[in-house]
Amino acid sequence: MKQITKRKMTTGEIRDKFERDDVVERYTNLATGQIAIVDAAVNLEVLTETAKRIVPRARNVLDIGCGAGNYTLKLLSSLPNLNCTLVDLSGKMIKKALERITPVTSGKVLWYQKDIREIELPKNRFDIAMAGAVLHHLRGEEEWNDVFSKVYDSIAPGGCFLISDLITHANQAVEECMWERYEEYIGRIGGPETFSDIEEGIAREDTPRTIAYQLDLLSKVGFKDVDVLHKNILFATFGGVKKG
Ligand SMILES: C[S@@+](CC[C@H](N)C(=O)[O-])C[C@H]1O[C@@H](n2cnc3c(N)ncnc32)[C@H](O)[C@@H]1O
């Protein structure tokens, strides 16, 4: 990742970015996902399909950093009528998610415009917890620990926590190689953002961790069957199960 000395964005600045209409729009395409995310559609598919296989009789889903609702919508297409709990910092993202989700589920839809670090979650409630492209906003170890632990407590026995996110690599040479591959990918898709905009944005906004760090943390807070489901360049999907 580009090394810059500027400070990282505050939570308020991150919220303001995700209140922008052009940013909401970028996260509203269910068929492609956000195209700057390598294999966005594959990650959506793999996360929701594995969630369904792990908890085929799921009733309650938690979508952390729901954005415009892509992960919940995709899940509802194979597990209909779930009760959905949506958490996001951005009111505009939640509004868009509600517009898209409420017509397609007869389940209850609850929403909270809150920081995942601050929200109190019910205990043993959710069959599936999902976090798409959001946990890379967590900063120090304590925040990562607290959020993983809180999500574990909120999941019902037999349920799962599945994460899809930007990741980093432990080895600097590998990290550099992956960034070169990512630059090539961004050039190839020809999306609205240039590689240097994206690189600068990530350096200012995000604090991703390695897959290994997050798998260890999932195990440490109690999850079992911790595994990687998909990985391509700088993006991966992984998670674990809360055993009964
Ligand atoms: C990159 S978007 C991803 C949206 C959606 N999960 C998807 O994959 O399409 C990240 C979302 O997480 C929200 N977010 C960022 N930090 C958050 C936090 N600390 N707590 C709750 N939501 C957060 C943002 O407002 C934004 O809507």
pLDDT tens by residue, 166-223:
999 999 999 999 999 999 999 999 888 899 999 999 999 999 999 999 999 999 999 9
**CA nearest neighbour of 195 among 186, 207, 204:** 186
**Are 94 and 111 spatial neighbours (Cβ–Cβ below 8 Å)?**
yes
Cα 72 to averaged position of ligand 1 atoms, centre (Å)? 13
**Is residue 193 in a domain?**
no
| 95: CATH | 3.40.50.150
User: Model pTM?
Assistant: 0.97
229 lines ligand 1 (CB under 6 A): no
The count of domains in the chain is 1
Q: How much is the pLDDT for 192?
A: 84
**Is residue 183 in a domain?**
no
Residue from 15, 16, 17, 18 to probe ligand 1 pocket by mutation (most atoms less than 8 Å from CB): 18
Query: Whose C-alpha lies nearest to ligand 1, atom 18?
Result: 115
208 lines ligand 1 (CB under 6 A): no
Q: Which domain holds residue 43?
A: 11-171+209-241
Cα 13 to averaged position of ligand 1 atoms, centre (Å)? 13
